[in-house]
């Protein structure tokens, strides 16, 4: 018996509606908030992640200081995943009910001293030479310690080596740790404290030199990542991939330690 026309029209309508909804879901863009120190490593992680089967969903990446990104997320910014430079901001968001849970530590960061190559400064791991270099610097770039975990670590380091009183009035505070490195690499400033991961970036090799600073002179930089409440599947997939052996290899190559 032939199917009545009205049923065939209804079936076609629901089929088209399903296809449209499926296309909309597939076309959704996830937004990832990433601390600036992670930029060199995350760009490589992102490229690898895109090659995975089923990982072709569009992704918007927002880089910035952890403090600013956390504040934006708390105020309703549509960040599906927050990859922080420390754990205080993600844990605060979790305690305030913004995130799915308390997330995981994905890496430990490290601090570096960077100088502009053209300045002709001698850079050594000798503690006394480092102190002299910092005391003689007219200006020193660091990230704002109120916003950036690496800025906070920089202040701790300067106090630990007992040069804080001499240099505190000569600090140039930047919105995030990447900008501190830009100031040094462009020659705007000769000396800066930055993340080891940024100091190791190949594009800075021609204009800067760096040394890693002792980890015991500042608090451990535990970098944590968290998902928002009810995250989309693509954000969960990226969250999981960040903890994979492939992603860990990239993080280690970029100067991080893996928990």
Looking at residue 85, its pLDDT comes to 97
Looking at residue 23, its pLDDT comes to 38
What domains, with CATH codes, occur in the chain?
A: 7-108+221-253 (3.40.190.10), 110-217 (3.40.190.10)
What is the C-alpha to C-alpha distance for residues 247 and 215, in angstroms, rounded to an integer? 23
Looking at residue 16, its pLDDT comes to 40
User: 187-225 pLDDT, tens per residue?
Assistant: 999 999 999 999 999 999 999 999 999 999 999 999 999
Report whether pLDDT(148) > 70.
yes
User: 77-105 pLDDT, tens per residue?
Assistant: 999 999 999 999 999 999 999 999 999 99
Q: In the chain, where does DSSP find H-type helix? A: 5-27, 39-50, 66-74, 88-95, 127-136, 149-160, 164-167, 177-185, 196-199, 233-241, 245-253
User: 6-61 pLDDT, tens per residue?
Assistant: 444 444 444 443 433 333 334 478 999 999 999 999 999 999 999 988 766 789 99
Largest CA distance in the chain: 95
What is the C-alpha to C-alpha distance for residues 121 and 114, in angstroms, rounded to an integer? 10
Mean pLDDT computed over 144-162 = 97
Report whether pLDDT(181) > 60.
yes
User: 50-79 pLDDT, tens per residue?
Assistant: 998 876 678 999 999 999 999 999 999 999
Looking at residue 57, its pLDDT comes to 75
Q: What is the reported pTM? A: 0.85
125 annotated to a ligand binding site: no
Mean pLDDT computed over 143-152 = 96
66 annotated to a ligand binding site: yes
What is the C-alpha to C-alpha distance for residues 86 and 17, in angstroms, rounded to an integer? 44
**CA–CA distances in Å: residue 223 to residues 29, 62, 90, 100, 125:** 25, 17, 9, 17, 25
């Amino acid at each position: 018996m032939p199917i009545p026309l009205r049923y065939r029209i209804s079936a076609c309508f629901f089929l088209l509606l399903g296809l449209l909804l499926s296309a909309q879901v597939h076309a959704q863009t996830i937004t990832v908030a990433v601390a600036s120190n992670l930029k060199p490593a995350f760009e490589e992680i992102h490229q690898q992640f895109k090659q995975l089967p089923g990982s072709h969903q569009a992704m918007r990446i927002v880089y910035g200081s952890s403090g600013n990104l956390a504040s934006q997320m708390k105020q309703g910014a549509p960040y599906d995943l927050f990859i922080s430079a420390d754990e205080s901001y993600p844990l605060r968001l979790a305690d305030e009910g913004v995130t799915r849970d308390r997330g995981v530590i994905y890496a430990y960061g490290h601090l570096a001293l960077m100088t502009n190559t053209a300045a002709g400064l001698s850079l050594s791991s000798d503690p006394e030479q480092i102190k002299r270099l910092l005391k003689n610097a007219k200006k020193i770039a660091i990230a704002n310690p109120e916003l950036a975990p690496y800025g906070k670590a920089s202040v701790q380091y300067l106090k630990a080596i007992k040069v804080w009183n001499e240099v505190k009035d000569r600090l140039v505070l930047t919105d995030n740790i990447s900008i501190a490195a830009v100031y040094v690499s462009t020659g705007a400033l000769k000396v800066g404290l930055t993340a080891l991961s940024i100091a190791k970036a190949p594009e800075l090799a021609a204009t800067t030199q760096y040394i890693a600073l002792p980890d015991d002179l500042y608090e451990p930089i535990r970098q944590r990542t968290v998902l928002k409440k009810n995250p989309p599947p693509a954000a969960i997939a990226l969250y999981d991939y960040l903890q994979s052996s492939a992603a860990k290899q990239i993080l280690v190559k970029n100067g991080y330690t893996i928990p």
